[in-house]
Amino acid sequence: MSWSRSSWRGLRSPHIPEYPDPEALRAVEDTLKNYPPLVFAGEVRQLKAELARVADGDGFILQAGDCAETFADFNTFNVRDTFRLMLQMALILTFVGEKPVTRIGRVAGQFAKPRSNATEPSADGDDILTYRGDMINGFGATAASRAPDPGRMERAYFQSAATLNLLRAFAGGGYADMHTAGKWLLDFVENGRARKKYELLAKKIHKTLNVMRAYDDGGREPARQRIDFYSSHEALFLPYEEALCRNDSLTGDPVAASAHFIWIGERTRDPNGPHVEFLRGVINPIGIKCGPDAQPGSPERLLEKLNPLNEGGRITIILRAGADRAERAFSRIIRELQAAGRKVAWCVDPMHGNTRTVDRGIKTRMLSDILRESKTFIDVCRAENVHPGGFHLEMTGKNVTECVGREVGRDDLAKNYDSCCDPRLNASQALEFAFETAGHLSRG
Ligand code: PEP
Ligand code: CO
């Protein structure tokens, strides 16, 4: 079966909307085809090698960020705060788990969302298209704002480029230096348990590093001063992915140059659909979200298409079932792929199976459910003899009140609910998550 970067076009998906002016869409795609890649083949290969190590039991993945990035929320502080929070969480996991952590942001491209319904009623009762992410249409609930607008794709590209530029500077320019770990605390993280535990940890690390430096001859300690940080998003809007597909200049292999890591979602992992068709041809490491309703045999059919040579690091399975259904679903899927001899890194997304709607239609998640599903994941991995390879989270460094837990009660949700899509953990909740799961991992 021959593949090309446009071979997905023969297949339909309800998650790729029709444009009122397809010619205008084509024109933007042609423009993007000439723009520089956002990531490079060498970086993609390096990430794949790290993920291959995770699949072999050495290391963890921390993949986190917004449910959906937006144009309105784009500023230096938001990018910095989420980056900083990930540094803190990775530090906790590294210190407690004593294994390297691969940091992957849901960032610099996470602009397109799958929706269960194509339309919804507006305030006037008319049917309007649903919001599909800033790359496609506007959040405002009017027919005009919801019309797919191709210019948004170019804006998403430039925002992704600027975000990556900042992240590359933070990761390599001294900000991520572990000596400064004590200063990474976000200003608003309340004076509670997680903050105290983190301060203690940062002090210990500082001391350890000083001792090591005393033996180091004043060498430059590069590994402790700079880190690698990777980008990722759901490869949902294929016109954008195709326009950013490039060939590796060394080998000629096709690379999705929109992000280091891309994933297919729960709603787009049809082995015969356009998303799987596109992804099978690019060399990037890819994620597959896998929920409790996956038919027996379907994960293996997907892997036959997406990783026929069973290459390590190519596939990360991101399990997401909801706390109540996790145990059964996870053991079934793990057993199936183990029996088929599949090399994969196992991760859990404890967010998307735990969304619920409370008072007056607010979408939220309970930190307790998120922790329960994550601990179940660790327990099931152990019982099935596979390595629990990491966590995929929706969180932000902003002081939001979107998930219930720690200092946020059900009545507080409206105070600072800022997500245009799914509810995210705030910094205190995310730190609590890191300590709790790291503790559970170390008790193994
Ligand atoms: C997401 O990650 O934002 C998402 C929509 O997840 P899923 O495909 O697992 O529902
Ligand atoms: Co989401």
To test the ligand 1 pocket, which listed residue (289, 302, 370) has its Cβ within 8 A of the most ligand atoms? 289
pLDDT digits (tens, 9 = 90+) for 59-96: 999 999 999 999 999 999 999 999 999 999 998 998 87
Ligand nearest to the CA of 350: 1
Identify the weakest region by mean pLDDT among 213-222, 225-234, 250-259, 433-442: 213-222
Residue 129 lies in a domain: no
Identify the weakest region by mean pLDDT among 40-44, 102-106, 203-207, 352-356: 203-207
Say what the pLDDT of residue 124 is: 86
- Measured from the CA of 421, which atom of ligand 1 is nearest? 3
Residue 220 lies in a domain: yes
Q: Whose CA is nearest to atom 4 of ligand 1?
A: 265
pLDDT digits (tens, 9 = 90+) for 317-337: 999 999 999 999 999 999 999
Q: CA–CA separation, 191 vs 8, rounded Å?
A: 51
Residue 83 lies in a domain: yes
Residue 33 lies in a domain: yes
Say what the pLDDT of residue 409 is: 93
Amino acid (1-letter code) at residue 270: D
Higher per-residue confidence, 178 vs 349: 349
Say what the pLDDT of residue 394 is: 98
- CA 290 / ligand 2 centre spacing (Å): 14
| Ligand 1 neighbour 114 (Cβ under 6 A) | yes
- CA 443 / ligand 2 centre spacing (Å): 30
| Domain of residue 13, residue span | 7-114+150-442
| Average pLDDT rounded to a whole number, residues 306-316 | 98
pLDDT digits (tens, 9 = 90+) for 167-203: 999 998 877 777 777 777 766 566 677 788 888 888 8
Cβ-contact 121, 235 below 8 angstroms: no
pLDDT band at 299 (very low <50, low <70, confident <90, very high): very high
Residue 408 lies in a domain: yes
Q: For residue 165, what are the contacts with CB-CB under 8 A and spacing of at least 6? A: none
> Among candidates 41, 24, 11, which has minimal Cα distance to 245?
41
Say what the pLDDT of residue 214 is: 62
What total number of domains does the chain contain?
1
Say what the pLDDT of residue 351 is: 98
CATH number at residue 390: 3.20.20.70
| Ligand 1 neighbour 15 (Cβ under 6 A) | no
Say what the pLDDT of residue 407 is: 87
Q: Whose CA is nearest to atom 8 of ligand 1?
A: 265
pLDDT digits (tens, 9 = 90+) for 235-290: 999 999 999 999 999 999 999 999 999 999 999 999 999 999 999 999 999 999 99
Say what the pLDDT of residue 442 is: 87
Say what the pLDDT of residue 252 is: 96
- Measured from the CA of 291, which atom of ligand 1 is nearest? 9
Query: 117 burial class (0-12, 13-18, 19+ CB within 10 angstroms)?
Result: exposed
Q: CA–CA separation, 386 vs 57, rounded Å?
A: 8
- For the chain, give the mean pLDDT: 92
CA 319 to chain centre: 13
Residue 366 lies in a domain: yes
- CA 302 / ligand 1 centre spacing (Å): 18
Higher per-residue confidence, 323 vs 125: 323
Paired tokens of 274: 């356009």
Say what the pLDDT of residue 127 is: 94
| Ligand 1 neighbour 320 (Cβ under 6 A) | yes
Number of other residues whose CB lies within 10 A of the CB of residue 397 = 24
| Average pLDDT rounded to a whole number, residues 399-427 | 94
- CA 176 / ligand 2 centre spacing (Å): 27
| Ligand 1 neighbour 352 (Cβ under 6 A) | yes
Q: CA–CA separation, 9 vs 106, rounded Å?
A: 26
Q: CA–CA separation, 291 vs 306, rounded Å?
A: 18
| Average pLDDT rounded to a whole number, residues 400-405 | 96
Say what the pLDDT of residue 227 is: 81
Q: How far is CA 290 from CA 61, 220, 334, 377, in A?
A: 17, 43, 11, 13
Identify the weakest region by mean pLDDT among 145-159, 200-214, 276-290, 344-358: 200-214
Higher per-residue confidence, 1 vs 416: 416
Say what the pLDDT of residue 211 is: 67
Record the pTM. Answer: 0.95
Say what the pLDDT of residue 186 is: 66
Percent of the residues in the chain that have a pLDDT greater than 90, as a whole number: 80
Say what the pLDDT of residue 189 is: 65
To test the ligand 1 pocket, which listed residue (111, 130, 234) has its Cβ within 8 A of the most ligand atoms? 234
Query: 252 burial class (0-12, 13-18, 19+ CB within 10 angstroms)?
Result: exposed
Q: CA–CA separation, 430 vs 398, rounded Å?
A: 11
Residue 54 lies in a domain: yes
Say what the pLDDT of residue 187 is: 64
Say what the pLDDT of residue 201 is: 82
Higher per-residue confidence, 332 vs 206: 332
Residue 140 lies in a domain: no
Q: CA–CA separation, 207 vs 186, rounded Å?
A: 22
Three-class SS string for the chain?
Answer: CCCCCCHHHHCCCCCCCCCCCHHHHHHHHHHHHCCCCCCCHHHHHHHHHHHHHHHCCCCEEEEEECCCCCCCCCCHHHHHHHHHHHHHHHHHHHHHHCCCEEEEEEECCCCCCCCCCCEEECCCCCEEECCCCCCCCCCCCCHHHHCCCCHHHHHHHHHHHHHHHHHHHHHHCCCCCHHHHHHHCCCCCCCCHHHHHHHHHHHHHHHHHHHHHHCCCCCCCHHHHCCCEEEEEECCCHHHHHHCEEECCCCCCEEECCCCEEEECCCCCCCCCHHHHHHHCCCCCEEEEECCCCCCCHHHHHHHHHCCCCCCCCEEEEECCCCCCHHHHHHHHHHHHHHCCCCCEEEECCCCCCCEEEHHHEEECEHHHHHHHHHHHHHHHHHCCCCEEEEEEEECCCCCCCCEECCECHHHCCCCCCCCCCCCECHHHHHHHHHHHHHHHHCC
